[in-house]
Amino acid sequence: MKIFKTRCEFQRYALELKRSGKSIALVPTMGFLHDGHMSLIDIARKKADVVMVSIFVNPTQFAPNEDFDRYPRDFDGDVAKCIDHGADVIFAPEPGEMYDPDASCWVEEVNLSKPLCGRSRPTFYRGVTTVVAKLFLLAQPDYAVFGLKDAQQCFVIQKMVRDLDFPIEIIPAPLVRDSDGLALSSRNRYLSADERSRALSIHRALLAAKAAISADRNAMAAALEKAKAEITAAGGRVDYVDILDCATMEYPLAGSRQVIVAAAAFFGSTRLIDNEIFEI
């Protein structure tokens, strides 16, 4: 396992690998790794000669009132898990290393990133696309694996790669859940036992909405209201429950095929997101 802390050394190493003809798969993460992340590393392992995992809690995607300072970190645990799953390289820069103090360039996607999380976190996707573009230029990957837990993020990155001609294949990976249905997330660590059991309402509500809409596409609005009510009744504070066409990230039209029903809700002070993607 090679661990790099500086952009310069990491990029030099990646360029050497490319020159020697190796293929590279990158898994970008914010660390505190769980089985969802591990599933991405397993997919990357099957795709390329060299698997790189980046571990970086990216300050530019957090708003000042969000949880950047208390975001859970466990670098030694993360390294052990990466070794266990056959990753070859970890890139884990300190916050001050990733951006020059006078950095003034952003990468921004302005359509797919607007609804859902983009509405309640207006500077979030700009931070994500900027850091991911930087990671792509540093790691020189042929493949990058993104989880559908953050489906909108995955679609935004695919659009960035297409629009800006990054020579990279984005591989979407299935959402991994705990046995009781809760979507795995590093932020689940914040939940009390009571909040955690109440938070199961998110997935229950999404599944009920999916069933209702699959049975009758005219039931969309009613199904979303019902889902919001179920999460609220469980003690959650709903940020959004919405249905969108996966290709456009707009409200589904008659011709829409693949849709996403997505939810974000607070349990206590913890904001959780989840989604179901399906054909209508």
List active site positions.
37
Residue list 22-61, contact with ligand AMP (CB under 6 A): 29-30, 36-37, 39-40
Of 60, 129, 152, 186, the one binding ligand AMP by CB under 6 A = 186
Of residues 116, 132, 170, 173, which one binds ligand AMP by CB under 6 A? 173
In three state form, how does the secondary structure of the chain look? CEEECCHHHHHHHHHHHHHCCCCEEEEEECCCCCHHHHHHHHHHHHHCCEEEEEECCCHHHCCCCCCCCCCCCCHHHHHHHHHHCCCCEEECCCHHHHCCCCCCCCCCCCCCCCCCHHHHCCCHHHHHHHHHHHHHHHHCCCEEEEEHHHHHHHHHHHHHHHHCCCCCEEEEECCCECCCCCECCHHHHHCCHHHHHHHHHHHHHHHHHHHHHHHCHHHHHHHHHHHHHHHHHCCCEEEEEEEEECCCCCCCCCCCCEEEEEEEEEECCEEEEEEEEEEC
What is the nearest approach in angstroms of ligand AMP to the Cβ of residue 233? 25
Check residue 115 for interaction with ligand AMP (CB under 6 A). Answer: no
With contacts defined by CB under 6 A, name the span among 107-115, 184-192, 224-232, 260-268 that binds ligand AMP.
Answer: 184-192
Report if residue 276 touches ligand AMP, rule: CB under 6 A. no
Q: Which is nearer to ligand AMP, 183 or 262 (CB)?
A: 183
The conformational region for residue 237 under phi > 0 = left, psi -120 to 50 = alpha, else beta, is beta
Which residue in the shown chain puts its C-beta closest to ligand AMP?
Answer: 147
Judged by CB under 6 A, the residue of 43, 156, 183, 206 near ligand AMP is 183
Residue 40 or 44 with smaller CB distance to ligand AMP? 40
Interface with ligand AMP, residue 175, by CB under 6 A = yes
Q: Which is nearer to ligand AMP, 256 or 270 (CB)?
A: 270
Shortest distance in whole angstroms from residue 246 CB to ligand AMP: 15
What residues make contact with ligand AMP under the rule CB under 6 A?
Answer: 29-30, 36-37, 39-40, 146-147, 149-150, 173, 175-176, 183-186
